[in-house]
Structure 1
Amino acid sequence: MARFVEFINTAAPQLATELVSPDAVFHVPGRAEPVHGPQGYLEIIGMMRGGFPDIQWTLEETVIEGDVIAARFTMRGTHRGAFFGVPPTGKAIAVQALNIYRLSAGKIISEVGQPDLLGLMQQIGGLPRS
């Protein structure tokens, strides 16, 4: 997971190839169809960096059972690009995400992620706070 956190924080293509199976499937909130392989994961990171160019993930907790890893992250960044239709605000965000990964032969073969998009959208002014 330390190498994976390095990958998501740098978006290094060589780490994508090293850590993500070419057959991997990733389910992304807001997309009807999953993305695939190292390039698909780089697309996910690119989507987040489009709205938050300085985004960084901090691994807070993991639970491992067999070939499954549950990982809780805190995502932090500054809203400097449009994100889900919200123009840049310059506001800082800090939100949680819980992702479930499956591994095979030392590589990630799937991820289902649940970032706190409601909290994120509230922090950038895209939705009212209750």
Structure 2
Amino acid sequence: MSAEKQHIAEQWFMEYFTKGNTDVLDSLTAPDFVYHGRNGKSDRDKMKEFMNWFRSVFHGDEWILEDVIEQGDRLVVRYTGRMTYKGGWFDIPPENQQVRETGIIIFRFEEGKVKEVWCENSDAAILYELGALKPNTHEAF
């Protein structure tokens, strides 16, 4: 595995997510970086806005890179994050509650920078943990 790609993925989680260092995106991503999400495409500026919101809602997070798989210009990371909810997401009251996020993020690299990212995560599970989704209203398989 490329040490350079591994280092960038670690910086993504440790600097961008854990510390909320949005400036690190300028050094990790290509100028025409694209984030592909379920609401469409975003750029670096939107990712910085997201992180400012995220840091206001969740604190004390810790991230573990469970699996890191490289193939060609892609690096796939299966991750787990634990954090404390402080309020500010929908109308969910703050209770300093610990929550866990799991997900998979795919980085595509070009010339040593992250050119594109795709991410699938467990937002619904976090809402369930926070009590925003009623227990026993759906089946889990």
Q: TM-score band (shorter)?
A: 0.7 to 0.9
Q: Which runs of 5+ in 2 are unaligned?
A: 1-8, 137-141
Change (3 A) 1:7 1:110: same
TM-score, structure 2 as length reference: 0.78
User: How many aligned positions are there?
Assistant: 127
Q: Which runs of 5+ in 1 are unaligned?
A: none
Tell me which residue corresponds to 1:64.
70
* Secondary structure of the corresponding residue to residue 59 of structure 2: coil
Q: In structure 2, which of residues 12, 19, 30 is the aligned counterpart of residue 10 of structure 1?
A: 19
Question: Structure 2: how far apart are the matches of 1:43 and 1:119?
Answer: 23
Question: Structure 1: how far apart are the matches of 2:117 and 2:91?
Answer: 25
- Structure 1 residue ranges (4+ consecutive) displaced by more than 3 angstroms after TM superposition: none
* Secondary structure of the corresponding residue to residue 6 of structure 1: helix
Contact 1:95 1:116 in 2 (8 A): yes
TM-score, structure 1 as length reference: 0.84
Q: CA deviation at 1:104?
A: 0.7
Report the identity percentage.
21
Q: Which moved more, 1:64-73 or 1:85-94?
A: 85-94
Question: Higher Cα Rg: structure 1 or 2?
Answer: 2
CA-atom RMSD in angstroms: 1.8
Contact 1:49 1:55 in 2 (8 A): no
